[in-house]
Amino acid sequence: MFVTATEFPGLLVLEPRVFEDSRGFFLETWSRRAFGVAGLDLDFLQDNHAHSVQAGVLRGFHFQRPPQAQAKLVWVSRGAVLDAALDLRRGSPTFGRVFGLRLSAENRLRLLLPRGFAHAYLTLAPDTDFQYKVDAPYAPELEGGILWNDPDVGFAWPEAAPLLSAKDGLLPRLRDFQTPFVFEQG
């Protein structure tokens, strides 16, 4: 596994080793040993899989508050998305900024989001399968989000009118959100 740090502290792009031949390919989607060798000590508790039928589906920006805040390892196994991570950690040098990355079945990249990031993605292809691991159980009473098109965040989504859930269209703006997340130098 190849690990690339981003300018966002703790936010990492992972590229798995892929073994390909005329039959297809093999890769490890996650390995405790490989993560340990890379200095990443995460204990994932749950795997999730979301399927979107059409391109232009936007999910997010979502997060879960402490004490059940979640680190996430995200990737696409079919199709493609524009993935976005919004830093909500008070005191972070990248607070309020978004890191965007195209994830696809073809590029096989993964994004590792530490706790304190809100997460969103926009499907770029029909029949997209988005998968992710989390290190804390789902706690609906602690879930939250930031409005996907908050002008204060200013992320340039390539779709002006994506297909959203009713809940995602009503999320607050960043300026109206009191973050419980604090940046810790690591």
Catalytic residue among 62, 119, 121, 138: 62
Q: Is the pLDDT of residue 162 over 80?
A: yes
Tokens of 109: 């990249």
Tell me if 81 sits within 8 A of 163, measured CB to CB: no
102-135 pLDDT, tens digit each? 999 999 999 999 999 999 999 999 999 999 999 9
Residue 173 banded pLDDT, cuts 50, 70, 90: very high
- 148, 137, 124, 140: which is closest to 57 by C-alpha? 124
Tokens of 87: 């830093």
Q: Where do the domains of the chain lie?
A: 2-176
The amino acid sitting at 23 is R
Mean confidence (pLDDT) of the chain: 95
Please indicate whether residue 138 is annotated as part of the active site.
Answer: no
First to last CA, the chain: 21
pLDDT of residue 25: 87
Range 22-43 average pLDDT = 88
Residues 74, 51: Cα–Cα separation, whole Å:
13
pLDDT of residue 186: 63
Other Cβ atoms less than 10 A from the Cβ of 47: the count is 12
Range 153-176 average pLDDT = 96
The structural architecture, per CATH, of the domain 2-176 is: Sandwich (2.60)
- 110, 131, 106, 136: which is closest to 44 by C-alpha? 136
Tell me if 138 sits within 8 A of 80, measured CB to CB: no
7-32 pLDDT, tens digit each? 999 999 999 888 989 998 898 888 88
pTM of the predicted model as reported, rounded to 2 decimal places: 0.95
Please indicate whether residue 121 is annotated as part of the active site.
Answer: no
Range 90-110 average pLDDT = 97
Please report, rounded to a whole number, the percentage of residues in the chain having pLDDT higher than 90.
Answer: 86
Q: Which residues pair with residue 103 across a beta bridge?
A: 81
Tell me if 4 sits within 8 A of 87, measured CB to CB: no
Residue 38 banded pLDDT, cuts 50, 70, 90: confident
Catalytic residue among 49, 51, 119, 132: 132
